[in-house]
Amino acid sequence: MAAQGAVLGLESSCDETAAAVLAGDGTVLAEAVLSQEQEHARFGGVVPEIAARAHLRHLPRLARAVLERAGLAPGDLAGVAATAGPGLIGGLIVGASFGKGIALARGLPFVAVNHLEAHALTVRLPGLIEGGPPDFPYLLLLVSGGHCQCVAVEGVGRYRRLGTTLDDAVGEAFDKAAKLLGLPWPGGPHLERLAARGDPRRFPLPRPLLGRPGCDFSFSGLKTAVAHLVAKGAAADEQGRADLAASFQAAVAEVLADRAAHALAMLPAARALVVAGGVAANATVRAALAARLEGAQGRNRVRLVAPPLRLCTDNAVMVAWAGIERLRLGLADPLDHAPRPRWPLEEVRARPGVEARGGAERGGDEAVAADRQQRP
């Protein structure tokens, strides 16, 4: 069923411009990701205006390229899915508007994809995970530059947030620590490479909220501790920098493993811990989560599930797949759906004509009115 039910996915929520085409059975027919790292590196972070202009410049070309590689024309598609939030509003407008234009021109259903839901559902892509996709419910540990959450994934469009960060997202903490150590942006991958040459036991950094009830996170104190050590000269030489990077990374990994274990205790029906987002690519974090699960195994075995590294960071494969999952349930969106820079998973629509809001569900005109009130 090569291209039957094919969906074009578009991703433009931050600083990666991406497009992908998936067949209805989840086969990846073509994909492309263009990083904007060079455009933003000299500023030490993502500049929203530059990101939006880059999406506008590159997205049409990438969409044409993946369609050509898939051997399809826009009229052959069964639908178009584009990230509509959360993220930088300029980029969201570019991607969503471009996707709506294709859908309108070809009479196709349009899916406004929640970026977090796309991360949550990636591991359900057929053939991706050894042992098969995890069954609902499963625990999602979402760790990226903008998010750090524990989420109960109970079905497509059915999510409960169990815990979140009280201050910095974990990816943000990595970037800030890397900057303190004089590393270029984006800091996470550079810090991981530096840490590989360091001693993670040299600096006894704090483990915020370790062992505390619940599964919230906090990283600002850990970042401040790194700043104090740098000010005292701990990173004056290359070995000191490597040891401090390794110590920071070890502290983060231990905290994430502890918080995830607490979240699993809050979701006893889960048989899988899914880690997703950019920080999920960090080998030390994955190893800490695996070790924690291995050490806590009983009769109810929980497995660690993670997407391949290329699908941990922002990509359009996950957007197209989320579109397929939602289209199967009849969850297409109107073309006047407005992108949302803030769009919690709990507010994702669970079934046709129904919008989830703060644990309650509203249908019909009430859902439309509620959505308009909460749009930025």
List the binding residues for Fe cation. Answer: 115, 119, 314
Distance CA 49, CA 93 (A): 12
Tell me the two tokens of residue 182.
């004089």
CB-based contacts of 230: which residues, under 8 Å, 6+ apart?
A: 180, 181, 244
Tell me the two tokens of residue 335.
């073309």
Tell me the two tokens of residue 249.
């990374």
What residue numbers does the annotated binding site cover? 115, 119, 142-146, 175, 188, 192, 282, 314
Long-range contacts of 283-287 (CB under 8 A, 24+ apart): 283/192, 284/192, 284/195, 284/249, 284/250, 284/253, 285/143, 285/249, 285/252, 285/253, 285/256, 287/253
- Given a contact cutoff of 8 angstroms between Cβ atoms, the answer to whether 45 and 174 are in contact is no
Nearest to 123 by CA among 329, 301, 328, 318: 318
* Helix-then-strand count for the chain, H and E: 11, 12
Nearest to 156 by CA among 276, 311, 327, 343: 327
Tell me the two tokens of residue 259.
């918080």
Q: Helices marked H in 10-141 — which ranges?
A: 37-41, 48-70, 89-106, 115-121
Long-range contacts of 25-29 (CB under 8 A, 24+ apart): 25/1, 25/126, 26/125, 26/126, 26/127, 26/321, 26/324, 27/2, 27/126, 28/317, 29/2, 29/3, 29/66, 29/69, 29/70, 29/71, 29/72
What residue numbers does the annotated binding site for substrate cover? 142-146, 175, 188, 192, 282
Q: What DSSP line would sit under 9-39, residue for residue?
A: EEE-SSSEEEEEEE-TTS-EEEEEEEE-HHH
Nearest to 311 by CA among 73, 114, 75, 31: 31
